[in-house]
Homo-oligomer: A and B are copies of this chain.
Amino acid sequence: MPKVVDHDERRAGFVLASWSVIAEEGLNAATLRRVAAAAGATTGALTHYFTDREALLVETLRSAHFEAGARMLRAASSAGAARDKLRAVILEALPLDDARLREWRVWLAFWGEAVGNPQLRKENEIRIAEWRDLIETLVAPLVGQPRAVEAAVSELLSLVDGIGLRLALAAPAEREDLRADAHSIVDRATARVA
């Protein structure tokens, strides 16, 4: 009997391998050959699913965003009042544990590459717009005026990106202090939304 291959699972395995290679060694290391090896497959098997490196990278970025988005929705649904939901989602977005720190390092690698790569930049703009919409949906019930919603959203998004970036680049010795700072910055910022 021929071996049955679950194509979705196989594809997901390559995306996961790509993710791990980027998180450990940076985006440059994530060649088709290297990712195939990390997935225990041949380059030929990988190119059956992804025609080139860029296609693999775009799907890696997309799947990581979806996973982070799903986590945030779970965080929101387990929190109570509107302000608690907002706070829970923002904390979930930040690299406050080592798994999410790895995630942020991968975003960083992608953003760095997006500087010279229009396709990644475009993909990124779509993801950023989705993230903005999520925060706007959470902020709107707390704020009266539409212009005040915009201002609060813009400030919160800036804080999340800034805190995440600083944590992703911090020396290990400073990480715990920064994580404590992050909690109080988020507490103050969400308390100001009104």
Contacts and interface: CB of A to CB of B under 8 A. Distances in A.
Interface stretch (A39-47, A74-82, A156-164): A156-164
* Chain A: interface size category: 35 or more
A159 B45 CA distance: 44
A166 B158 contact: yes
B185 A128 contact: no
A111 B114 CA distance: 12
Residue from A115, A121, A150 with most neighbouring chain B CB atoms (10 Å): A115
Contacts of A116: 24-29, 109
A165 interface: yes
Counted per complex, copies of this chain come to 2
A154 interface: yes
Contacts of A165: 111, 161-162, 165
A108 interface: yes
Contacts of A181: 150-151, 154
A12 to B, nearest CB: 23
